[in-house]
Amino acid sequence: MSVISLRLKERELSRIEELSKMENKDKSTVARELLEYGWDFLMVKYYKEGKLSLSGLATKLGISVSETIDLLSNLGVEAPIDYDDYLKGFEVLRDK
């Protein structure tokens, strides 16, 4: 495992300390978990904005496409496609 040193604002440090106490975990573990959650949040946001495909999101999150679909469903995130794109998908399937 690598080590990184960074400067935190008092607010950020107090949040890590508070979460550390709430979850009875050390501050390093909490900080690593927050980084992971932040990454996941940003990747889902990019997917929602149409900047990532479903398979791209799955790859970024390190999970399967079906797990990604379940995650998006649990978060209430809808696919960033409009109705016309949806119909075009059916046309492509029909033509095969």
- Give tens-digit pLDDT for 18-36: 999 999 999 999 999 999 9
The DSSP string of 44-77 is HHHHHTTSS-HHHHHHHHTS-HHHHHHHHHHHTP
pLDDT over 90 (residue 84): no
Give me the percent of the chain exceeding a pLDDT of 90: 69
Overall pTM surpassing 0.85 (yes/no): no
- Confirm if 64 and 58 have CB atoms less than 8 A apart: yes
Average pLDDT estimate for 49-78: 92
What is the four-CA torsion angle of 78, 68, 58, 76, rounded to 10 degrees?
Answer: 30
